[in-house]
Amino acid sequence: MGKKNCISCNVIFETKRNPQQTYCAKQSCQNRRKHLWRKTKLEQDPDYSLNKQKANKRWQQLHSSYWREYRARHPTYTERNRQQQRERDRRRNKLLSRHDASHLAKCDALPEENALPTGTYKLIPLDEQFLAKSDALTVKLFLITNSYIEDVSLAKIPPYSSEPDKAVICGS
């Protein structure tokens, strides 16, 4: 059989069964060949692409417990991720509350550290003994100022009526 240069690593190899072979037998070159084949196929064959999406979805349905179990097996990884996410959320919320404040008139009177950032919260109604009276409601809180409440444009601010339960928290 003929000798050829691999189009991936340029090494000389011998074609055995398939004279059209362009990649050598090395694992990395074969991986590269398969990767390129799949990429081209995905771009050019909508049926292949659709089937792949369906297969992925099916896999996810069959393995819905996969990540849950993975997290249980890797507590350190999970905890680190959780902390990183918390840090990202904190930074994001800080940015968002600053952004919201800039849209509202006379908001600077409210110290930023006392401000509860705009976001979705679980609200649990309490009785006089501070015991939960009912299940938690999901609410969206928007920080506004008293001076802003007097403004007629209040009607225009969110929450919009399409939200399930909602509340507005007012700064002093």
Instruction: Tell me the closest approach of the beta carbon of residue 39 to Zn ion, in angstroms.
Output: 18
Q: How far apart are CA 14 and CA 6, in angstroms?
A: 10
Which residue number, 10 or 161, has a Cβ lying nearer to Zn ion? Answer: 10
Q: Which of residues 20-59 bind Zn ion (CB under 5 A)?
A: 24, 26, 29
Instruction: Tell me the closest approach of the beta carbon of residue 78 to Zn ion, in angstroms.
Output: 39
12, 3 contact by CB (below 8 A): yes
The helix (run of H) or strand (run of E) holding residue 48 is helix 46-62
Which residue number, 22 or 93, has a Cβ lying nearer to Zn ion? Answer: 22
Which residue number, 5 or 40, has a Cβ lying nearer to Zn ion? Answer: 5
Q: How far apart are CA 172 and CA 146, in angstroms?
A: 6
Instruction: Tell me the closest approach of the beta carbon of residue 34 to Zn ion, in angstroms.
Output: 13
Among 1, 5, 9, 92, binds Zn ion (CB under 5 A): 9
- 162 Ramachandran zone, left/alpha/beta (phi>0; psi -120 to 50): alpha
- Check the CA dihedral 125-129-130-131 and report its sign: negative
Which residue number, 14 or 163, has a Cβ lying nearer to Zn ion? Answer: 14
Q: Which residues bind Zn ion (CB under 5 A)?
A: 6, 8-9, 24, 26, 29
